[in-house]
Amino acid sequence: MIKVAINGYGTIGKRVADAVAAQKDMKIIGVSKTRPSAEAFIAQQRGYPLYLADLAKKSSCENLGLKVSGNVEDMIKQADIVIDATPGDVGAKNKPVYERLGVKAIFQGGEEHEVAGFSFNSDCNYKDAIGRQFARVVSCNTTGLCRIIQAMDKEYGVAKVRAVMVRRGSDPGEVKKGPIDAVVLNPVTIPSHHGPDVLTVLPHIQIVTMAMIVPTTMMHMHAIQMDLAKQGSRERVIEIIERHPRMGLVRKGTGITSTAELKEYAMDLGRCRADLWENGIFEESISVAGKELYLFQAIHQEADVVVENVDAIRAMMGTVKDPAVSVRMTNEAMGLKAL
């Protein structure tokens, strides 16, 4: 059993915790919070030992009925590997602790590539992660791009990618963030950081990304165009997506044309937290004209990296060498079946 600690039990951390707990070869030995919160009560309900960044908050937790098992270092010392799901740029500050304690750690996409020196995606470079002390699971948008680009690149070769990312303004529970009624260019400059971030995983790809933020909490939407190296076919692209373990077809027959309906569908399917761990690619949008491919894909900002974190654990621990085996183990334990 791989002993996993979750440093930062928030939007991503709580999902990775449940994903890890569902695996037969892993277990959660603790999760950390900086202060009492709704999520701390959830950790307790799930039976995850709660650790605090600062034990000065211990009594305020205990007064609320929250049991505290120690501080973050106490937690890390028991772990084989730490999922660092702290807010952006905090991971970089935590790294020296992981180094000092000699523990493996996985950072999230809010950190710079250089923090880990290696950026991970299960489809693209699983084997390169084997044995590493540090890795960074790329952001939700980059993960979604890497999956579809890698799949098309393997089949056709990809000469150029142009992608427009229409990003949700906040996660559902982040009630202080906007915008309320605006499209915000973020950044105004082109390319956005997403293109270069794809290169940390797929350095040979030519890609230009443009990004904006809109007033929704649901999912990101990608409008993607690719120049393929050879003539493609719509049927073959659909087939590749259908067979891919982390891409799902949003089928015409469902009548789904929006992120909100897709999330409702995931919820109705009984998915934990209505999570879509896979790219949601709209079947009807897939268009191939000669060497050009166009499609829309929805990316669940809170979810697609969760399964990648689980695979990264196995790769870095070296317990499973074959990416396909790890992906299958992860997916089965979480109930990820075709949409």
- Which residues are annotated as catalytic? 140
Q: What is the dihedral of CA 116, 1, 10, 123, to 10 degrees?
A: 50
Do residues 99 and 82 lie in contact, with contact meaning Cβ atoms separated by under 8 Å? no
Q: How far is the CB of 22 from a second copy (least distance, A)?
A: 13
φ, ψ of residue 30 to 5 degrees: the values are 170, 160
Q: How far is the CB of 215 from a second copy (least distance, A)?
A: 5
User: What is the amino acid identity at position 253?
Assistant: G
Measured from the CB atom, the residue of 139 and 259 that comes closer to a second copy is 259
Measured from the CB atom, the residue of 88 and 187 that comes closer to a second copy is 187
Q: How far is the CB of 252 from a second copy (least distance, A)?
A: 8
* Cβ partners under 8 Å of residue 185, min gap 6: 211, 212
Measured from the CB atom, the residue of 264 and 332 that comes closer to a second copy is 264
* Helix extents (H) in 111-139: 113-116, 122-125
Q: What are the tokens at 207?
A: 């890609």
**Upper half-sphere CA count for residue 173 (Cβ side, 13 Å):** 8
For residue 206, CA distances in Å to 19, 42, 161, 196, 210 come to: 33, 43, 6, 9, 14
Q: How far is the CB of 325 from a second copy (least distance, A)?
A: 27
For residue 57, CA distances in Å to 34, 60, 86, 173 come to: 8, 5, 18, 23
Measured from the CB atom, the residue of 103 and 145 that comes closer to a second copy is 145
Instruction: Identify the residue whose tokens are 């971030």.
Output: 197
Do residues 299 and 167 lie in contact, with contact meaning Cβ atoms separated by under 8 Å? no
Q: How far is the CB of 185 from a second copy (least distance, A)?
A: 5
DSSP state of 139: P
Q: How far is the CB of 36 from a second copy (least distance, A)?
A: 6
Q: What is the dihedral of CA 190, 119, 33, 175, to 10 degrees?
A: 20
Measured from the CB atom, the residue of 78 and 285 that comes closer to a second copy is 285
Measured from the CB atom, the residue of 94 and 259 that comes closer to a second copy is 259
